[in-house]
């Protein structure tokens, strides 16, 4: 069973939730590539003679970073291929949240090493969160990796592929994907928290916020080129402050963006930064999707302290009350870790109680996994505090079941309602498109409509994770 109960996003990477995405570039002699000519820097056309493949693991931040790297590689004259063996250059853009993420990447590196020995792949680059971690040195030696980049120096890929240095332009200022129906816009990078279990502060560094005007300009450009859905991204988006010193906070930015874009969402938020004004804004602004992802991690104040989360469960509950009141039909998701070192049965029961009280619409539930260099990893070296695997597994299932029961009940309440559904992915194998209501519910709907279009349909049934709509009325908009 997956550890995810819905398709929401998170603070960092969720490998189970986000399948590896392949972004491939260039044409190798003898390979029927989809593009033989790619656009280079403005005003030039480059005939592709080289091939590349970027594979992305993990979260939306990584997908976004891959997008940037794809542009550099395109500018350097590479074109798309579908398989490693057809690529001159392979870039693995990786995630480091849980141990199995590294294991998964090792499998890919082993295969690439073999292809290099056979002379099929020429260069391998490892980027992203694993690239930024100490472990990358061992991987570099073992698998003969040619280039290792962290999350802060991905611009160096430009030089590696033969473009002039891009240090100045390759910062969070660089725009996201333009001209597509939905775009991710990074408003801040890094994180100033020090949660006991988390590698993000060490691999992504401290918080850096993008200036308000810069974000708004990018969104105008995106909307002008056809983007219909903008997601503001960051590890703790609600900690955003205007670095230009205007004193503006996340709620001000969100309000501006909601006036510019036709559909807006944001992730991830931190309970200590979340302001009631932001929660009310979600309910007030028609363009903001009524979905809140607010990781709680534990329902026990003792564990929240051990984790250095900086809030008590009471604050979290109050925030949820404000959200439920401001956005009555909205959806609420969270992240929960079970089995953190020191977690007792009483702590676990408090988590179950909080899950019951908040009645989440979905949750990502994680079994604690020790990450090298974190405080919790050191704690887990002492067997007296560790939670045995069978206990962690039971707690995991108990939390998951409680979330699913509540989510199922809430979803049942949507049956019979008529919804405007935004199509996120076109028709899948079963002939249904995957869409999203304004309340943030995931819906399967039988339509040919392309991503970025709206259809109106009645909800006919519901499961714990998704709603099922009937045939839409009228034409897609």
Interaction site with ligand SF4 (CB under 6 A): 11-12, 191, 193, 195, 198, 200-201, 235-236, 270
Instruction: Indicate which single residue of 88, 252, 335, 343 sits in contact with ligand 5AD (rule: CB under 6 A).
Output: 335
The token pair that represents 344 in the structure block? 């007792």
Instruction: Indicate which single residue of 6, 8, 12, 55 sits in contact with ligand 5AD (rule: CB under 6 A).
Output: 12
Instruction: Indicate which single residue of 198, 254, 304, 449 sits in contact with ligand 5AD (rule: CB under 6 A).
Output: 198
Specify the residue, 283 or 295, whose C-beta has the smaller distance to ligand 5AD. Answer: 295
Minimum CB separation of residue 89 from ligand 5AD in Å reads 30
Minimum CB separation of residue 355 from ligand 5AD in Å reads 14
User: Which option in ligand 5AD, ligand SF4, none does residue 67 bind, with CB closer than 5 to 8 A by kind?
Assistant: none
Q: Is 10 helix (H, G, I), strand (E, B) or coil?
A: coil
Instruction: Indicate which single residue of 82, 153, 214, 369 sits in contact with ligand 5AD (rule: CB under 6 A).
Output: 369
Q: Which residues pair with 286 in a beta bridge?
A: none
Which residues touch 6 (CB under 8 Å, ≥6 apart)? 333, 361, 362, 363, 407, 442, 465, 466
User: Which option in ligand SF4, ligand 5AD, none does residue 210 bind, with CB closer than 5 to 8 A by kind?
Assistant: none
Specify the residue, 26 or 334, whose C-beta has the smaller distance to ligand SF4. Answer: 334
Nearest partner of 20 among 124, 114, 116, 91, judged by Cα = 91
User: Which option in ligand 5AD, ligand SF4, none does residue 191 bind, with CB closer than 5 to 8 A by kind?
Assistant: ligand SF4
Residue 370 exposure: Cα atoms within 13 Å on the Cβ side: 17
Minimum CB separation of residue 270 from ligand 5AD in Å reads 10
User: Which option in ligand 5AD, ligand SF4, none does residue 193 bind, with CB closer than 5 to 8 A by kind?
Assistant: ligand SF4
Report d(CA 198, CA 200) in Å as an integer: 6
Q: Which residues pair with 334 in a beta bridge?
A: 363
Which residues touch 34 (CB under 8 Å, ≥6 apart)? 79, 80
Minimum CB separation of residue 297 from ligand SF4 in Å reads 7
User: Which option in ligand 5AD, ligand SF4, none does residue 371 bind, with CB closer than 5 to 8 A by kind?
Assistant: ligand 5AD
Q: Among all chains, which residue has been given the structure tokens 């503006």?
A: 248
Specify the residue, 5 or 235, whose C-beta has the smaller distance to ligand SF4. Answer: 235
The token pair that represents 214 in the structure block? 């810069």
Minimum CB separation of residue 374 from ligand SF4 in Å reads 9
Binding of residue 197 to ligand 5AD (CB under 6 A): yes
Using CB under 6 A as the binding rule, the residues of this chain from 370 to 399 that contact ligand 5AD are: 371
Report d(CA 161, CA 140) in Å as an integer: 19
Q: Is 63 helix (H, G, I), strand (E, B) or coil?
A: helix
Nearest partner of 313 among 324, 295, 301, 297, judged by Cα = 301
Minimum CB separation of residue 120 from ligand 5AD in Å reads 35
User: Which option in ligand SF4, ligand 5AD, none does residue 97 bind, with CB closer than 5 to 8 A by kind?
Assistant: ligand 5AD
Q: Among all chains, which residue has been given the structure tokens 């309602």?
A: 417
The answer to whether residues 3 and 400 touch, using CB atoms and an 8 Å cutoff, is yes
Site string for ligand 5AD, 282-301 (x = CB under 6 A): -------------x-x----
Burial of 114 (0-12, 13-18, 19+ CB in 10 A): middle
Query: Cα dist. 198→2, 88, 99, 337, 373 in Å?
Result: 21, 35, 12, 11, 9
Binding of residue 337 to ligand 5AD (CB under 6 A): yes
Query: Cα dist. 119→26, 50, 67, 105, 116 in Å?
Result: 18, 15, 27, 21, 5
Is the CA virtual torsion 197, 202, 208, 214 positive or negative? negative
Stretch that binds ligand 5AD, among 40-48, 101-109, 366-374, 441-449 (CB under 6 A): 366-374
Using CB under 6 A as the binding rule, the residues of this chain from 93 to 122 that contact ligand 5AD are: 97-98
Size of the site for ligand 5AD (CB under 6 A): 15
Q: Is the peptide bond before 77 cis (omega within 30 degrees of 0)?
A: no
Specify the residue, 81 or 188, whose C-beta has the smaller distance to ligand 5AD. Answer: 188
Specify the residue, 11 or 436, whose C-beta has the smaller distance to ligand SF4. Answer: 11
Per-residue buried b or exposed e for 398-433, using 16+ beta carbons within 10 Å of the residue's own CB = bbbebbbebbeebbeebeeeebebbbbeebeeeebb
Q: Among all chains, which residue has been given the structure tokens 């939390």?
A: 399
Minimum CB separation of residue 97 from ligand SF4 in Å reads 9
Instruction: Indicate which single residue of 368, 396, 422, 454 sits in contact with ligand 5AD (rule: CB under 6 A).
Output: 368
Specify the residue, 161 or 338, whose C-beta has the smaller distance to ligand 5AD. Answer: 338
Specify the residue, 370 or 435, whose C-beta has the smaller distance to ligand SF4. Answer: 370
Using CB under 6 A as the binding rule, the residues of this chain from 135 to 174 that contact ligand 5AD are: none
Q: Among all chains, which residue has been given the structure tokens 């057809």?
A: 86
The token pair that represents 402 in the structure block? 């409680």
Residue ranges binding ligand 5AD (CB under 6 A): 10-12, 97-98, 197-198, 295, 297, 335, 337, 366, 368-369, 371
């Amino acid at each position: 069973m997956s550890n995810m109960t819905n398709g929401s996003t998170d603070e960092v990477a969720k490998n189970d939730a986000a399948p590896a995405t392949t972004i491939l570039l260039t044409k190798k002699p003898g390979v029927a590539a989809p593009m033989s000519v790619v656009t280079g820097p403005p005003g030039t056309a480059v005939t592709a003679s080289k091939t590349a493949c970027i594979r992305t693991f993990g979260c939306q931040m990584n997908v976004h970073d891959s997008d940037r790297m794809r542009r550099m590689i395109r500018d350097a004259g590479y074109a798309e291929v579908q398989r490693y063996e057809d690529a001159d250059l392979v870039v693995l853009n990786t995630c480091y949240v849980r141990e199995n993420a590294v294991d998964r990447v090792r499998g890919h590196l082993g295969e690439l090493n073999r292809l290099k020995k056979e002379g099929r792949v020429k260069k391998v680059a490892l980027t992203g969160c694993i690239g930024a971690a100490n472990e990358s040195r061992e991987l570099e030696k073992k698998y003969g990796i040619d280039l290792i980049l962290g999350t802060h120096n991905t611009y160096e890929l430009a030089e590696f592929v033969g473009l002039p240095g891009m240090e100045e332009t390759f910062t969070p200022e660089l725009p996201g994907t333009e001209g597509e129906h939905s775009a991710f816009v990074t408003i801040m990078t890094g994180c100033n928290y020090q949660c006991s279990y988390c590698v993000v502060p060490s691999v992504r560094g401290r918080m850096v916020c993008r200036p308000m005007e810069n974000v708004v300009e990018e969104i105008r450009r995106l909307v002008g080129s056809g983007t219909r859905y903008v997601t503001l991204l960051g590890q703790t988006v609600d900690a955003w402050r205007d670095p230009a010193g205007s004193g503006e906070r996340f709620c001000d930015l969100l309000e501006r963006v909601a006036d510019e874009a036709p559909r807006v969402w944001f992730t991830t938020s931190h309970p200590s930064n979340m302001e009631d004004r932001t929660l009310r804004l979600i309910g007030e602004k028609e363009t903001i999707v009524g979905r809140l992802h607010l990781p709680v991690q534990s329902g026990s104040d003792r564990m929240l302290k051990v984790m250095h989360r900086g809030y008590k469960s009471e604050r979290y509950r109050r925030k949820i009350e404000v959200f439920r009141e401001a956005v009555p039909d909205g959806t609420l998701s969270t992240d929960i870790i079970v089995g953190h070192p020191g977690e007792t049965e009483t702590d676990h029961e408090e988590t179950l109680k909080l899950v019951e009280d908040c009645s989440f619409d979905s949750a990502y539930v994680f079994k604690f996994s020790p990450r090298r260099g974190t405080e919790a990893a050191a704690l887990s070296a002492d067997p007296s505090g560790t939670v045995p695997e069978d206990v962690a597994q039971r707690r995991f299932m108990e939390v998951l079941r409680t979330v699913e029961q509540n989510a199922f009940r809430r979803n049942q309440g949507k049956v019979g309602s008529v919804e405007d559904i935004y199509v996120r992915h076109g028709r899948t194998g079963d002939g249904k498109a995957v869409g999203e209501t304004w309340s943030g519910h995931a819906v399967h709907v039988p339509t040919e409509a392309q991503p970025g279009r709206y259809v109106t349909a009645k909800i006919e049934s519901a499961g714990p994770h998704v709603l099922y709509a009937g045939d839409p009325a009228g034409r897609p908009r």
